[in-house]
Amino acid sequence: MYAAARRLLSTRACAAAAARASPVASRAPSCYSAAQSKPPPPRFPTPKEIRRGLDQYVVGQDKAKKVLCVAVHNHYKRIYSEPSTKSGDQPSSSQTSAADDDTELEKSNILLLGPTGSGKTLLAKTLARFANVPFVIADATAITQAGYSGEDVESIVYKLLVAADFDVEAAERGIIYIDEVDKLAQKLGCQEDRRDVSGEGVQQALLKMFEGTVFSVPRKRSQNGMSHGCVEVDTTNILFICGGAFSDLGKIVSERLHRCPFGFGTPIRHELGDYALTNALGQSGLLEEIENDDLIAYGLTPEFIGRLPIIVGLTHLTEDQLVQVLREPKNAIGKQYKKLFKMNDVKLHITENALRLIAKKAAVRETGARGLRSIMEGILTEAMFEVIPDDAGEGKEKIIVVLVDEESVGTPTRRGCGAKIFRDDGALELYVYQNNIRVPGLIQRPKCSIICRLCLLVAFSAAKLWVYHTFDCFSSIYAWIILILCKANIFTE
């Protein structure tokens, strides 16, 4: 009986304790589930992962790639690591410690300096592709100061909103690339009574947008052209990448560094800038030593340069790098033209010497990778015109193979004859064999090397000695066999 009473008292005590703990227990799972319901921040690629992605599309520019990868990674790491606590949420210990730290991370916009065709626009496009954010390219030459004919700076934000499919949250984390920023330099010949609305005026208009402000841009327009009100877009988290050729900037840098050669025949002081730019690679090397004072002397305002703290200089592409642009990247120019011809069941072959000549032509013109496409268009225009027969030429033989060799390209100072067209089976193989041309991707007839010929000569000499010492009467037969073999060798050669 005493044991039964003890069990009853212990049961009631446990029930009371459970009742007292039930409100806390009932609230704990809800808080835990609320904490678990928050989606984790998206993972942004590391600088090395971004670098591997850039290497698939952009050739060269190793230093610029490293700087851009680190800058873009830090920018989006800053965005995704910001604590977002609502009024009804209980801050966690990590959020409380982050709130105690008043350090605010600011963004760092980027300025790309480099000659035309060095890959400035392609770098910005590829970065936006791997960041998986909206991207837009704006031309600085079309922007004017507010109140004048032309585009306002707000139009750039509107283009980004259109690229984001009018998703404001996605647009506020996008990337804007402003090309031809060097055309915004202050005009030296501008009179004081006339305002520089397309130069310094645009620089002043871009300051607040770079630093971060709220723009009111129109919403999606209807079919009759009427907009559905306005929407506010904050540019605080938008990454701005500016690019320009800055063609005469090398003169300013060379004058500051006082790089003057010594000896007879050297240029005088006022010709020093032109002397420093005779070599394209030497000119691009000066871009790595640029300082803010050089950009101010070029015509950019100190306030504008201060909003672009990361300055990256791109170099001229060498001939070897231009050859890589033609055949190695995922969107290589050579692969693009091969795909165009493949759509019409035509094979395109380009020899190694032809690729070298095309790269040399682009290097002489100093047009970089952009000049490669114009050269390829001039070579393949006639072939692309003839590759598709019209209705009147149905009886004409169909083109099978197109070949680009040294004669097709020509020399750096002379135009070539264009791509060679072959309409018969085996015509390309015969032409390659007769002219001793090596074509990548084409199975060619193997030729005996010097080592193989020496081995055959030693074998014939040993066989001759053995026959002479063994069969004296068969020397004439051996001479006849050697004669036949020599004739066969001449025939195969």
Q: Which residues contact 332 (CB under 8 A, 6 or more apart)?
A: 325, 326
Output the pTM of the full model.
0.70
pLDDT of residue 104: 78
pLDDT of residue 239: 92
Q: 144-148, 195-199, 220-224, 402-406: which range is least confident on average?
A: 220-224
Q: Indicate the CATH number of 324-435 among 3.40.50.360, 1.10.8.60, 1.20.58.2240, 3.10.20.740.
A: 1.10.8.60
Token pair in block for residue 492: 């195969």
More confident residue, 47 or 148: 47
pLDDT of residue 365: 85
- Residue-wise over 420-444: b if at least 16 C-beta within 10 A, else e? bbbeeeeebbebbeeeebebeeeee
Domain 43-82+104-187+196-221+228-316 has CATH 3.30.70.260: no
pLDDT digits (tens, 9 = 90+) for 366-385: 888 888 999 999 999 999 98
Beta carbons within 10 angstroms of residue 22's beta carbon:
10
Position 57, amino acid = Y
| pLDDT band of 10, cuts 50, 70, 90 | low
pLDDT digits (tens, 9 = 90+) for 447-491: 556 677 777 777 877 776 776 677 666 666 666 777 777 766 655
Radius of gyration of the chain from its Cα atoms, rounded to whole angstroms: 36
pLDDT of residue 325: 92
273 has pLDDT over 60: no
| pLDDT band of 404, cuts 50, 70, 90 | very high
pLDDT of residue 21: 45
Show me where the domains of the chain are located. 1-38, 43-82+104-187+196-221+228-316, 324-435, 450-492
440 has pLDDT over 60: yes
